[in-house]
Amino acid sequence: MEKENKNLSFNDYVSRFNVFLKQRKLSHTSERNAILRAIYQFDKHFTLEELLNYLKKNKYYVSRSTLYNNINLLLEAGLIYKYQFSNQDLPCYEKCLKENVHNHIYNIKTQEVIEFSDQRIEDIIHEIEQKYNIKVLQHNFVAYCEDNNN
Amino acid sequence: MEKENKNLSFNDYVSRFNVFLKQRKLSHTSERNAILRAIYQFDKHFTLEELLNYLKKNKYYVSRSTLYNNINLLLEAGLIYKYQFSNQDLPCYEKCLKENVHNHIYNIKTQEVIEFSDQRIEDIIHEIEQKYNIKVLQHNFVAYCEDNNN
DNA sequence: TTCTTTGCAAATGCTTTGCACCCAG
DNA sequence: CTGGGTGCAAAGCATTTGCAAAGAA
């Protein structure tokens, strides 16, 4: 909870996607630009439907197929998170602005998400790697909470 | 990773379900018994389909609807976990034998899961509660790993 | 008897796919 | 030009639902 590394600027965000596209030998398209710009606008997490509506409202129509396709690419690129907090809720996505932060506090009432870092989690991962002779590729921590005053 | 509390016996497991059923004013049925017994047999996680096949093989047919229904009950009762490690994989379930252990190491190759406890995670949760004036209801930690020798 | 559960079939709804047309490189 | 991208409609498929029959309390 101590380390608070800086958020990525929109330009950095875009260029990370460009690097990814280049690696994969994929093309730049106006749809991809529009989607990336839209995602960056969202301050909180959003569903695919909400993203679609946002794009439509802003006079940029993208088909569902294209959106699914590119959401999957962005997930693979590590530029967005996918949450599915409850079984019946739709999956939510959120731009990933801090690198290597995979710890989240999720408010089940307001559905707000706070990202945080903590050295102790890094320590635990290190110890796991030693103890089991494995490489931890990624991790995920979610604390589900509610406000004390309700 | 230090605390290693004991696993629940099958009888304890069953009686925890019975308590849950009583609380919810739900009935005992032979299907529920069969499902619980089957789940306890599995040493590793399983898909709903695998559970269904296992039951069928052991001469106890249960319909998909019933299985879904009861899997959801068991989830609410906290007697099984639900994992969905990758987007395209089916969700996996696993009996929850230790109370209050929500930390997992997941081997992406062998798909093995190790449960563990760690005081530092409890500490972090405590600090989160203080800092944001919230109550953490539940948490989940997953470390995705692979073997070093491959 | 009364309320719950089961099982079948059908519906639901998110996501993927096939394919023709279009566009970036 | 040529391989990848987009959009539409259709398919896929895990899960849920409606309802009649069966079972628990």
Query: Quick one: which residue's CA is nearest to D24's C1'?
Result: B27
Asked whether residue B1 carries a pLDDT value surpassing 90, the answer given is no
Q: Compute the distance between CA of residue B113 and CA of residue A89 in angstroms, rounded to an integer.
A: 26
CA of B4 to C1' of C11 (A): 47
Interface test with B, best of A48, A68, A105, A126 (most B CBs within 10 A): A105
> At CA A84, angle to CA A126 and CA B83, rounded to 5?
60
| Distance in angstroms: CA A135, C1' C15 | 32
Q: What is the mean pLDDT of residues B130-138?
A: 92
**Is pLDDT at A32 greater than 90 in this prediction?**
yes
In the structure, what pLDDT confidence band is assigned to residue A3 with cuts at 50, 70 and 90?
very low
pLDDT digit string (tens) for B22-66? 999 999 999 999 999 999 999 888 999 999 999 999 999 999 999
Residue B138 and residue B102 in contact, taking contact as beta carbons nearer than 8 Å: yes
Q: What is residue B2's predicted lDDT score, i.e. its pLDDT?
A: 45
Specify the pLDDT at position B3: 46
For residue A45, pLDDT beyond 90:
no
> What global pTM score does this model have?
0.82
In sequence order, which residues have a C-beta less than 8 Å from that of residue B127 and are 6 or more positions away? Answer: A1
- Contacts (Cβ under 8 Å, ≥6 apart) of B88: none
Number of H helices, E strands in chain B: 5, 5
Which two three-digit tokens encode residue B50?
């695998």
Burial B76-101 (b: 16+ CB within 10 A, else e): ebebbbebebeeeeeebbbbbbeeeb
Q: Residue A94 gets which letter from DSSP?
A: E
Interface of A with B (CB under 8 A): 1, 72, 75, 82, 84, 87, 105, 107-108, 114, 116, 118, 120-121, 123-125, 127-129, 131-149
Q: How far is the CA of A53 from the C1' of D6 (A)?
A: 18
Q: How far is CA B78 from CA A19, A91, A96, B13, in A?
A: 43, 22, 31, 11
